[in-house]
Amino acid sequence: MAEEKRRRESRKYFDSLVLTKDQFESPLKPSHLQFFTSYMVAVEESDLLPITHSSLHLILDAGCGNGHDTIQVAKRCNAFTIGIDLSFNSVKLAKSKAKIGNVHERTEFIVGDVERLPFRPKMFDAILIIGLLHHLKSTRALIRLSQAVKRGGIMILREVVSNSPFCFFYNKAPVLLPSLLRKHFPEVGPSGEIPEVFLRPTSFYRNLLKTLNLRMIKEEAEFLYVFFLSDIFILVPWMQSLVPPYILPKLWRVERDLLKRTPTKSLCRLIRFVCIRQ
Q: Does the pLDDT at position 5 exceed 90?
A: no
* Spans of all domains in the chain: 2-277
Which 3 state secondary structure label does DSSP give 123? coil
pTM confidence score: 0.92
CATH topology of domain 2-277: Rossmann fold (3.40.50)
Report the pLDDT value the prediction gives residue 192, as an integer from 0 to 100. 67
Listing DSSP states for 189-248 in one string gives -TTS-------B-HHHHHHHHHHTTEEEEEEEEE-SSHHHHHHHHHHSGGGGGGS-TTHH
Q: Which among 105, 98, 89 has a CA at the least distance from the CA of 22?
A: 89
Report the pLDDT value the prediction gives residue 195, as an integer from 0 to 100. 75
Q: Does the pLDDT at position 110 exceed 90?
A: yes
CB 83 within 8 A of CB 151: no
CA distance 37 to 40: 5
pLDDT tens for 7-65 read 787 888 887 878 776 666 677 899 999 999 999 999 999 999 999 877 899 999 999 99
